[in-house]
Structure formats: structure tokens, C-alpha cells
Amino acid sequence: MSQRVWIIGASYGIGAALAERLARDGKEVWASARSRDKLEALAAKHAGRMHALPLDVTDKAAVATALAEIEAEGGPPDIVVLNAGSHHPVAAKDFKADDLRKLMELNVMGVANGIEAVLPGMLQRDAGRLAVVASVAGYAGLPTSAYYGCTKGGVINMVESLAFDLRKTGVKLQLINPGFVKTPLTDKNEFEMPFLVTAAHAADVIAEGLAGNKFEIAFPTTFVLILKFLRMLPYRLYFPLVGRSTGK
């Protein structure tokens, strides 16, 4: 029997590319997002392997209802990927608390809604793989990323904290931290994006990671190592180095 995968945040970008990659690999995929039209068009390309399941991840009841629908059609998903999120670049002069709150509702609370829905069943079965997409932007501050980096840093901390309880269970928890991936979201950035990769490449890396046991799936490797090194530097070195590399 093929593995059953639920991807929340699958209408475009990394989520759509991952849904297609896993469907091609023979997995049965449920693709969720708010855009019914995009999901149905995506599923039509993989008839019999992919199902469109529209939902708003910020609606906790809707997430639970969608999970129940999947379970009614043959059982719970073996793999859940929580990928829904958005990006809102902001300069310091334009910072607004309400804009951050809106992004937190999707990027952080949307993840929390997904975790709350699927984790109890996984723990009861002592099985399942739960992968959460954050970003290397959550490692440390980056230009115009006061909103986005804040949300992704919160998600990284959330998943790392849950790992302590889950590492001795049969539930496999994974954290996905992509670098710059060419999508409609990163197209909003007005600075140079080093090591930019395609969504298809990101999907290949994530698919391979989901077949393994590493806690963190982070890429591109060189960029990840550079950022992890930079965040250990004192701020008097960090700010000019990152600013120079991004043109800020």
C-alpha cells in the first residue's frame, strides 16, 4: 500500500512542487490550501494520486474537518507536511504591529493548528511523520525580514521544543529550513538572494529528507553553513557582513 501524504500549503511554490514530486514517487497525496482552483488544477495532473482538499489553515475547525475527511477515505496520513505560510517584506519605516499579527496568524498559528489536529492521532498510533516548514530566515535577522523572520524563528523554536518529547516515541518530527527558493513570495524581495534555487530543486531535497531520519532538512548546504556560522558572530561583525552580502 502506498504512503498517504497530506501537504498543507500546496497551491504553489515549494508545496505544489513537493506534492507533484511525491505523487510521481507513487504516494497518495492530499493537497490543501485556500485556492480551490489551483489545487484542482494540480490534482488533475496526477489523477488517482492526488486529491484537492481546500481549507484555510488559520481555521482550526476546518483543519480538523479536513483530517477527518482524509481518515474516512482509508485511514490517517502517514506523512503530514505543514507548509502554509506567506512573506511580507517590511522596512523599518513601515513597521506595523497589525501586519505582523496577520502574518503570525498564518505562519505560526496555522502551523499550531495543524500540529494540534494531527499529533494526538500520531501519538496514539505511535507512528507517523510530521514535517514543519520554517526557513533559514528564522536563524537570525535578515534585511526586510522583521515580520517573516520573526514568525519562522518562532516556528523553529516550537518544533525544536516538541522534539524533546517526541524523540523517544514512534512519531518522526522534522524541521524543514529552506534558503531562498524562487517562488511568488521571494519575488517580493528587493535585495540580492544568494544561492537561489528552484521550487523543483527544493522539492527534490525535501522528498529525500522525508525518506530519511535527519531532524533538520536545510538547504542549500553552503548557504545554511554560512548562516549558521554568521549567527555565532558578534553583532559588530554580523550586521556589516550580512548587509554587504545582501546589498543592505
The torsion of the CA quartet 21, 177, 136, 218, rounded to 10 degrees, works out to -90
d(CA 97, CA 100): 5
Q: List phi, psi (to 5°) of 219.
A: -160, 160
The torsion of the CA quartet 21, 4, 173, 19, rounded to 10 degrees, works out to 20
d(CA 85, CA 105): 9
What is the percentage of the chain residues whose pLDDT exceeds 70? 97
Catalytic residue among 12, 139, 147, 148: 148
Average pLDDT, the chain: 95
Lowest mean pLDDT among 21-35, 125-139, 178-192: 178-192
Q: How do residues 59-89 score in pLDDT, each as one tens digit?
A: 999 999 999 999 999 999 999 999 999 999 9
Average pLDDT over residues 136-160: 96
For residues 80 and 3, the answer to whether their CB atoms sit within 8 Å is no
C-alpha cell at 78: 502517514
4-246 CATH fold? Rossmann fold (3.40.50)
Active site (annotated) includes residue 235: no
Rounded alpha-carbon distances, angstroms, from residue 159 to 29, 173, 187, 216? 23, 8, 27, 10
d(CA 163, CA 178): 19
3-state secondary structure labels for all residues of the chain: CCCEEEEECCCCHHHHHHHHHHHHCCCEEEEECCCHHHHHHHHHCCCCCEEECCCCCCCHHHHHHHHHHHHHCCCCCCEEEECCCCCCCCCHHHCCHHHHHHHHHHHCHHHHHHHHHHHHHHHHHCCCEEEEECCHHHCCCCCCCCCHHHHHHHHHHHHHHHHHHHCCCCCEEEEEEECCEECCCHHHCCCCCCCCEEHHHHHHHHHHHHCCCCCEEEECHHHHHHHHHHCCCCHHHHHHHHHHHHCC
For residues 5 and 81, the answer to whether their CB atoms sit within 8 Å is yes
CA within 13 Å, CB half, 42: 31
Candidates 64, 42, 39; CA nearest to 53 is: 39
Q: How do residues 149-204 score in pLDDT, each as one tens digit?
A: 999 999 999 999 999 999 999 999 999 999 988 877 666 666 667 788 999 999 99
pTM: 0.95
